[in-house]
Amino acid sequence: MKPDRSQAVLHLVAEAYIATAKPVPSSWVAARVGMSPATVRNDFARLEADGLLMQPHTSAGRVPTAEGFKAYAEAFLPPEPLSAADLRGISDRLAGLHGSELLERLAVVASNLTGYAVVLDVAADPNLQTLTVHMTPMSERHLMVVAVFENGLTRKRTLDLSPTPGAAVLEDAERTVRDLALPISTMEAALRERAREVGTDLRRTLRALADAWPSLKPMERYSHGMHHLLDEPEADDPNFLRQAARQLDRVATPELAEAHEPLALRFDDHVALVSSRLGWRDCRGLLTLVGPTRMRYPSTFQVAHGVGAGTPLDALSS
């Protein structure tokens, strides 16, 4: 089988399966490539041997494997750019938004454009200023701390601190953070230094806050669009839903927000994930679209790259 015919057969099967979610018979392919069904069945057998197609059950047509979808999808990389009209529409929907509001809307826009679920993992710039912390007793030994940063990002954690400090001590601790007015990268050390200079109760509170500071750094996750996945035929398979939910529920960490490629494709059994560097305004991180392996790859790549990169959107909004 010639390499170009092999690719053509694989692409036909992939596109038909993406459109119908049904195994593709040899007769359907044969009618479109001008060959006999017997010849196409031989092509199917070779593609199966290469791990690119599989037969779900006897007498069924063929569907791509994850490797088959990968080979199909890579033909659309790098993606075609979004049209100027599409970019203008996206830019208009994001105009005037910053911080958490911008990221929430980005997730909604990317999800609605693709019809898949979206997660954004965002790590704050280490030079980002800490504006304040709010400290609220939840019980005799638990303290709720909410840190607020200059671009609107927030971070919330529950601290074990028994007994919890009184209102006056908490006000002093909050005032200390405001007075320091430091970037997130240097706040922990400054809190420990200030703790050496104050009384026992405030010292204990500032040290607890310093201990918790690494987990308070504004690593945020935003998600949207699980309802889109429920509309896919794969939603009848609990394994698909379980794997998709696992991707949406992962704990956001700085490592998750480190994108090493402009656009990446990976698979988790029944789930495909398309990731792009996120670079919109002052937000840096990773945008990931989550869908079935039967994903509409060309348009998904376009949206992931166009929305994630941010640069053309910034240019349109300037």
The residue-averaged pLDDT of 170-175 equals: 96
More confident of the two residues 154 and 234: 234
Distances (CA, A) of 50 to 44, 71, 242: 10, 11, 29
Comparing CA positions, the residue from 204, 223, 101, 210 lying closest to residue 157 is 210
Provide the whole-model pTM. 0.72
Helix count and strand count (H, E) for the chain: 13, 10
HSE-up of 290 (CA within 13 Å, CB side)?
29
User: pLDDT tens digits for 78-109?
Assistant: 999 888 888 888 888 888 887 778 889 999 99
> Percent of the chain beyond pLDDT 70?
90
Q: Minimum mean pLDDT among 124-128, 191-195, 279-283: which range?
A: 279-283
Instruction: Give me the mean pLDDT over the 182-191 stretch.
Output: 93
CA distances from 17 to 127, 152, 161, 228, 292 (A): 48, 43, 56, 18, 12
Q: In what order do the strands lie in the sheet with 263-268?
A: 219-224, 117-123, 283-292, 271-280, 263-268
Residue carrying structure tokens 């308070």: 216
Sign of CA dihedral 110, 112, 118, 123: positive
* Predicted local distance difference test score (pLDDT) of residue 317: 54
- pLDDT band of 1, cuts 50, 70, 90: very low
Confidence of residue 209 (pLDDT cuts 50, 70, 90): very high
| Residue of 240, 163, 176 whose CA lies nearest to 206 | 176
What pLDDT sits at residue 211? 93
pLDDT at residue 201 tops 90: yes
- Residues 89, 272: Cα–Cα separation, whole Å: 27
Q: Is the pLDDT of residue 73 over 70?
A: yes
Element (H, E) at 81: none
Q: For residue 258, is pLDDT > 70? A: no
Question: In this predicted model, what pLDDT tens digit does every residue of 105-160 receive, in sequence order?
Answer: 999 999 999 999 999 988 767 788 999 999 999 999 999 999 998 877 788 889 99
Find, among 198, 189, 222, 100, the residue nearest to 153 by Cα. 100
- Least confident interval from 181-190, 198-207, 301-310: 301-310
